[in-house]
Structure 1
Amino acid sequence: MIHPHSGTAPASPVDGIFRALSDPTRRHVLERLSARPASVSELAAPYDMALPSFVAHLKVLETCGLVRSRKVGRVRTYQLASEQLKLAEDWLGKQRTLWERRLDRLDAFLLKTREEKPE
């Protein structure tokens, strides 16, 4: 449904996931977290950016539910929350099915058209 004031559809959880995945830094962080949980400083180490800028990436990932964090003492540790990736996977699967059906119908139409064409 289109929002009447903005002319766009309201944001859904999958929108936030794809927005988060659109950035290569965030995708790389997710790849690293798929191996094991890590602290902010461990995650930030390979990047040549100010810590607040890197933390903003973590916040985007956490806000859409792709990562979870916990703080023990002064150390905040992040871990992958892979169940949210299932939302993106499900959306992509539905799109794949939709387009496969459309292409199958197009193929059938083209075959029928070619068969009906007088020689």
Structure 2
Amino acid sequence: MKPRFLFIFFFFLSISTLGQTRNCNALHTGVFTASSEQYGTTVITRTKRLQIEENTLLGYKLAYTINWKSDCVYELKLKKVIKGDQALIRESKYILTIKITQIKPNSYITENSSTFSDEISTHEIKIIK
């Protein structure tokens, strides 16, 4: 009787674990921050169609258009340099691809790639609201 109970317990545990999916939809809009010692803090404000990034240490504020490819993958294309070096607008043909790989209670992890580099970087983004 005991082995059968353990089998049933682990069977239901595995089903409940496999049935869980990430809900990235909650991250489609909101306010977030990305911080590093080298680049300071970037405040990210995301709406359905736009993402605004502002970094006072580096002196820029950029507007990107968002194209959600799936619930957890989106692309950013530079739309406008609101503040900072206007030469950045020449880079508007490049696309950044962001994949949300893990959601935590107060942050999420991303893998970032782009059309201008083979490098894939990982970042932790804090959820502000």
TM-score category of the 2 structures, normalised to the smaller one: under 0.3
Asked which structure has the greater RCO (Cα within 8 Å, sep 6+), the reply is 1
Structure with greater strand share of residues:
2
Structure exhibiting the larger radius of gyration computed from Cα positions: 1
Structure with greater helix share of residues:
1
